[in-house]
Structure formats: structure tokens, C-alpha cells
Structure 1
């Protein structure tokens, strides 16, 4: 009898050990509310900055502003002197330019000459998004002032020096030269 009890006990143990594995449930479950709240905060920030920028533009009757397709505004301080020149920088072209930065009310952040003349290979090097897109609109010899909302400028982090968090900026850019990318020889 002991033998049958022992076999029955082993048989029950084997059957109970062959249970299929169950998926473990997470300790905490996220509802996605943080992401939704973040999206809403960013929408409000963009709307507030755009309203502030449009108010500045409305007060400035001396300049004719243009809205770019990339989400910033600009006006020409000096247009290209040669009307037949329609060349704007393209991918890989090297541009040489100077720029200065103020807040949108005109308070100087980086004065003219404080930032050294920059050589930049279009879309191949690091440059904040708004300026990268703005350079593509310029011709050699032009001076253009751009107004960038913070998400087109330095965003949440700023430049970790003089430009703070979520600060819309005004950037005056002088494009000195455009050098076409050299094609490799076969």
C-alpha cells in the first residue's frame, strides 16, 4: 500500500509541475497620461510663443516679414545686389556666415562679432534647426533677420551658456559666400 501511495504522490507532483508558464504582470501600469500631458504642454508653449512673436512683428512696421514653411519668420536687412543671382545653398555646399543673437525684444545675447565667422557644410554638420533652414533661404551677400520660436532655436536645454530654456530668439545672419560641394572624380 505504501508503494501505491508513493507512486500516486509522485504522479500528482509531476502533473502539478507541468503547468504552463503565466506571463508576469508589471508592478506598475502606465496609462500614457504623462505623454499626453507633455504633448498638451508643448502645444500651449508653441501657441504662446507664436502669439508673442506675432505681437512683436505687428509692432515692427519698419520691416516686411515673411513666414517660412519651416515655422519661423524673417525679414531682409539687405537683399542680394545681383538680381540674376538665384543661387541658394544646397546639401553639402559650404557657406561662410556671421550671426548675432538677441531675444525677440532685441536684448543682446551674443553681439555681432562675439561669435566668430562660421564655415558650415550644409546639412552635414551640427547647427540649430532654425538657422540651418534659414541659411537655405539666403543668397550670397544677403543679411537676414530671423525670428525663431524656441523649438526651432535651442529648445528646452538652451545653449547651456547665455540662452535659457524655451527662449524664442532673433538671429541676424550675414551670408558671405556659398561654395559648391566638390564632386568626386571618377
Structure 2
């Protein structure tokens, strides 16, 4: 009986001990993030070099460089001097587009994607296309060459476009409807 009382006292004293902090088995200094950034920079540089190589092989086309990090050329440029308006925030644009690989293999052929109505910068649209539409005037057709980070990036489109795939998008801007909220 005495032994059981001693055991109970010892257990109660031992249970009153305050909890001690547990330290991690290993510590990271952020090197994983640094390595990931370097990998992404290398991947982007390779994609851009490849796109430039493809553009260099097409000597008949005048490619333009956007300030946003992609390339484009006009299939049909507006020559109407009164047609100077490009879409702005909130405007509704109606456009058609097709998507292919950088080499020109169709991913989504012309007519496969329905004519799209889009409120500029108010709805989801992949980055490059959103930026590209801002360069266009009504009635123009432009072909854009997007590195993967301007297209569908790491996730792809969850259907036909895989991870980190640079693409070509041919876009025809049918109409620009001005936003009612402009001054």
C-alpha cells in the first residue's frame, strides 16, 4: 500500500512539470525558395531563347516586342486613321482567338473557342491575352507569342495545355464597347 502511495506521489510531482518546447529536426534558411527562383529564371530564359529562335527562322514577319514580356505581329492592322481607340479598364471587348504551340501546331483551332465577351481587367483571363488585348484596335488580328508565365503557367489550362508551355495565340478584336463608368 505504501508503495502505491509513493508511486502516486511521484507521478503527480512528475506531471506538474511544465511542457518543454520541441525544436525542429532540421532548419531551412530559405534556400528552397532561392533554388526555385533560380530554376524559374533559367526556365524563362530557355523559353524566351527558343521563341526568339523560332522568330528568327520566320524572316518574312515583323515581330514586335511588348513592354510586358511577349512578342507579337499584326496579321491585319487597322489602317483607318479614325480608329485609334484601344480597350481600357472596364470596357467590354468581343474577340475570337485560337491557340497553338510556338511551332504552329493547333491546340484550340480557329472557331473551336467561342467568341468571347470580356470586361477588361474585371474578369479572369490569362495574363498575356489580357495585356495583348490592350494593344489592339477594333477589327485588328494579332498573333501573340507568349512564354509560359504569360500564358497558363505551371498549371496549364487543366485540359490541353500542359505545365509551363509557351503558346501562340491568334486574336481578332471584333468590337470595343466603352464602359458606362468613364468620365
TM-score tier (shorter): 0.7 to 0.9
Alignment TM-score, normalising by the size of structure 2: 0.86
The CA distance in 1 between the partners of 2:36 and 2:181, in whole Å, is 45
Q: Partner residue of 2:57?
A: 59
1:70 aligns with 2:56: no
The counterpart of 2:135, out of the listed 122, 137, 141, is: 137
> What does 1:122-161 align with in structure 2 at a 5 Å threshold?
122-161=120-159
Counterpart for residue 37 of structure 1: 35
- Deviation of 1:143 after TM superposition, in Å, equals 0.2
Mapped to 2, the partners of 1:81 and 1:176 lie a distance apart of 15
Q: Deviations over 1:48-74 (max 9, x none)?
A: 000000001101112100000000000
8 Å contact from structure 1 (residues 143, 175) kept in 2: yes
TM-score when normalising by structure 1 = 0.85
Rg: which structure is higher? 1
Query: Partner of 1:11 in structure 2?
Result: none
For residues 85 and 27 of structure 1, the distance between their equivalents in structure 2, rounded to whole angstroms, comes to 65
In 1, the alpha carbon distance for the partners of 2:73 and 2:89 equals 23
Alignment pair present for 1:109 and 2:104: no
Partner of residue 49, structure 1:
47
Q: Cα deviation per residue 1:143-171 (whole Å; 9 max; x = unaligned)?
A: 00000000000001100110011100000
| Number of residue pairs matched by the alignment | 167
When the two chains are superposed, the root-mean-square deviation of aligned CA atoms in Å is 1.8
Structure 1 window deviating more from structure 2 (27-36 vs 90-99): it is 27-36
1:86 aligns with 2:79: no
Quote the offset at 1:183 in angstroms. 2.6
Structure 1 stretches lacking a partner, 5+ long: 1-16
* Residue 173 of structure 2: aligned partner: 175
